[in-house]
Amino acid sequence: MFDCIMVGAGPASSTAAYHLAKQGRSVVVVEKASLPRNKPCSGGVPGAIAQWLDFDLTPAMSMKANKITYTWKMEYLVQVQQINSPMWMVQRDVFDDFLIKQAQKTGAEVRHSTEVKGIELKNFLWEVKTNSEPVFGRYLIAADGAGGPMTKRLGLKEPTLCLSASLETRSIKGDSVNFDFGTIKKGFIWSFPKADGYSWSIAAMRGDKPKDIKKMLAEYALKCGADVSVSNVREHPRSLWDGDRKLHSPNSLLAGDAASLADPLSGEGIRHAIFSGFKAAKASDRALGDADDAKEPYTESIAQEWGPDMVWIGRLVRAFYQFTGAVYRAGLQFPRTTKLMSKILCGELLYADIANRAFNKLMPF
């Protein structure tokens, strides 16, 4: 029997497993995919994640990017000069594998190719049924990502899923992050450089489910000079923050995309996964230690630390996706706006810090 069972082996789970194992708790991570797995993702990560991980992340980094370009409907290129703090770029198979190995080094057990099929809490003990033998534990952290089954199984509010897709190419290289607006309604296309190529992504951010999302992404990559095939584009859902929600149920917590914590404007979610994994480890360690359940403070502390900024993002999102063209013309293509956005993406600034200024400028449109 384990102190804690983590479902999923993404950044939320591995962060929680690392910190709990470091506290001497017995931990098992149960992952349905065969590891290392490559999650569809562009892999842009802010340096701010280092505050929740006390080991050197350099081996997990592919490169740093310090330039941004924008296009409107794949045209009218605006090249923005260097951004102050470079953004870290990671390959998700390498990054996630590195994180889970840090958890293993501290004592966490990892069972991959093991899909959770059902859960049952009996006499304060979880039985997690899998495609192989069941796993027993006192506490459960559900970090099974966007579209995973655990939120529903725990009787918590299910996320609204948005459609996204991604593509990896090795044919062209570069050092800038690129965003295209206007091609996809209420969303955007972006490409992030890696040491050996580019990761391309497309997202419909407001719940729309366009049918030709894979084709749009392939066309964009082709137009940028990449060697592509639509069949290599992989769809994956996203669960973005849409208001504070309950993140606990008896003897269990939600973390990462399963908790719908990703930024609804930029779609960034790795930082939020790591932050919530860190918090979930603290809360479950307290609960395991005291017999006094610490789950409510977890929901509260996520809402307190993340919520206020997310409220500002929610307002910006409404303005941005309603008037994308006007916002693009009025602000986004200017270097000053980019510097602010890059500071946010690097974790150096909160939306709340700039929202008043930005909102006053954007709302008249």
Ligand X SMILES: Cc1cc2nc3c(=O)[nH]c(=O)nc-3n(C[C@H](O)[C@H](O)[C@H](O)COP(=O)(O)OP(=O)(O)OC[C@H]3O[C@@H](n4cnc5c(N)ncnc54)[C@H](O)[C@@H]3O)c2cc1C
Residue ranges that bind ligand X, judged by CB under 6 A: 7-13, 30-33, 37, 39-45, 115-116, 143-145, 148-149, 164-166, 192, 201, 236, 238, 256-258, 262, 267-271, 273
130 forms bridges with which residues in the sheet? Answer: 116
Residue 251: half-sphere exposure toward Cβ, Cα within 13 Å = 20
Least distance from ligand X to the Cβ atom of residue 65, Å: 11
> By C-beta, is 48 or 354 nearer to ligand X?
48
> By C-beta, is 90 or 362 nearer to ligand X?
90
Which residues, in sequence order, are CB contacts of 108 under 8 Å at separation 6+?
6, 17, 18, 20, 21, 27, 28, 29
Q: State the DSSP code for 159.
A: P
> By C-beta, is 11 or 197 nearer to ligand X?
11
> By C-beta, is 165 or 288 nearer to ligand X?
165
What are the tokens at 213? 């999302």
Least distance from ligand X to the Cβ atom of residue 278, Å: 12
Reported as type and span, the H/E element at residue 74 is none
> By C-beta, is 3 or 168 nearer to ligand X?
168
Least distance from ligand X to the Cβ atom of residue 45, Å: 6
The answer to whether residues 49 and 140 touch, using CB atoms and an 8 Å cutoff, is no
Least distance from ligand X to the Cβ atom of residue 365, Å: 27
Reported as type and span, the H/E element at residue 8 is none
The answer to whether residues 166 and 190 touch, using CB atoms and an 8 Å cutoff, is no
> By C-beta, is 193 or 269 nearer to ligand X?
269
Integer Cα distance of 307 and 213 in angstroms? 30
Least distance from ligand X to the Cβ atom of residue 292, Å: 27
Q: What angle is formed at CA 298 by the lines to CA 277 and CA 137, rounded to 5 degrees? A: 65
Least distance from ligand X to the Cβ atom of residue 81, Å: 22
Collapsing DSSP to helix, strand or coil, 36 comes out as: coil
Integer Cα distance of 134 and 136 in angstroms? 7
Single-letter code of the amino acid located at 308: P
Collapsing DSSP to helix, strand or coil, 192 comes out as: strand
> By C-beta, is 159 or 331 nearer to ligand X?
159
Least distance from ligand X to the Cβ atom of residue 192, Å: 6
Cis peptide before 36 (omega within 30 of 0): yes
> By C-beta, is 260 or 362 nearer to ligand X?
260
Integer Cα distance of 71 and 319 in angstroms? 19
Least distance from ligand X to the Cβ atom of residue 5, Å: 10
